[in-house]
Amino acid sequence: MSEVAAAMVTAAMTVAEARRALAASLRAAGLETPELDARLLLGHALSLDHAALVAASARPLTATESAQVAALAARRRAGEPVARIVGRREFWGLRLAVTPAVLVPRPETETVVELALSLIGDRGQALRLADLGTGSGAILLALLSELPQASGVGTDLSAEALAVARANARNLRLEGRASFVESDYGGALAGPFDLVVSNPPYVASRDIATLDIEVRAHDPALALDGGADGLNAYRRIAADAARLIGGGHLVVEIGAGQEREVENLFVARGLAVTAFRHDLSGRARALAARVRLQK
């Protein structure tokens, strides 16, 4: 069977055959993880998890199911991310809902969580956290899942994004320790916090058109556009950092090659950079800072 023929998912196919055909279709479209994408899309169409897909491998698809799979495949071949299609993404082991209003949480952002947790000695402390530009709530909720006595607030300019974050907190049973406020970064918050985190927009405006279609066509511009040099959000965070963190820590995600520029912005505002965390590709991805002590 050719890949073109295999791309046709029909009601005559079993679940296993449909999965192979869908993977072949996605592979032919040049997608990086066709087998994984096929499993997730097929499971979504049939409302089956991985184990159930395997158990149902010999049963044939119905005409309705084959049409649903074909529609999902077309969306994926056109560049729509799987997380957008299925409406969820796993982050830090947590299942999060995502909508067009929020950035899809990415594995690289887990470096922010890792660095933040490394700064905390006793995880049983009653810490106060803030997540600036919270989006889906991913970073805040990941931290709360690891810090059982902590409470936190997430801010965002988008009311739609905040609705997603609140729903995720409820689904994870963290709503009692998480609140969400419509605000431009920390403007509406009263500090100090023990820990402030953020994954702000850091792409230079002119570079957005060069991003992968999965990002530029599907992630909200509010979560991507960092201004002319990509550093506008860091300027705003740095200007308010001393008030927000007091004697606590600030941890932010940074774009590739931005570590020195962000460090210089923070130092100019009286902060001292205390640590970097690198992602799996070796790039500095997260930066920690504190208010610099006066001599």
pLDDT at residue 143, as a whole number: 98
35: buried, middle or exposed (CB in 10 Å: 19+, 13-18, 0-12)? middle
- Dmax over Cα atoms in the chain, in whole Å? 77
Mean pLDDT in runs of 10 for the chain (295 residues)?
A: 52 91 94 95 94 94 93 94 96 97 95 97 95 98 98 97 98 98 95 96 96 93 95 97 96 96 97 96 96 76
Nearest CA to 143 out of 155, 159, 127, 157 is that of 127
pLDDT at residue 7, as a whole number: 54
pLDDT at residue 191, as a whole number: 83
pLDDT at residue 148, as a whole number: 97
Q: What is the rounded end-to-end Cα distance, in angstroms, of the chain? A: 74
pLDDT at residue 2, as a whole number: 37
pLDDT at residue 192, as a whole number: 96
Helical axes 138-146 vs 159-171, angle rounded to 10° = 30
Distance from C-alpha of 234 to C-alpha of 240, rounded to nearest angstrom:
10
Cis? peptide before 192, omega within 30° of 0:
yes
The one-letter code for the residue type at 270 is G
pLDDT at residue 5, as a whole number: 38
Helical axes 138-146 vs 110-118, angle rounded to 10° = 40
Q: What is the pTM of this model?
A: 0.91
3-state secondary structure the chain: CCHHHHCCCCCCCEHHHHHHHHHHHHHHCCCCCHHHHHHHHHHHHHCCCHHHHHHCCCCECCHHHHHHHHHHHHHHHCCCCHHHHHCEEEECCEEEECCCCCCCCCHHHHHHHHHHHHCCCCCCCCCEEEEECCCCCHHHHHHHHHCCCCEEEEEECCHHHHHHHHHHHHHCCCCCCEEEEECCCCCCCCCCCCEEEECCCCECHHHHHHCCHHHHCCCCHHHCECCCCCCHHHHHHHHHHHHHHCCCEEEEECCCCCHHHHHHHHHHCCEEEEEEEECCCCCEEEEEEEECCCC
User: 230 Cβ partners below 8 Å, 6+ apart?
Assistant: 201, 202, 203, 204, 207, 255, 258
Neighbours of 51 (CB within 10 A): 9
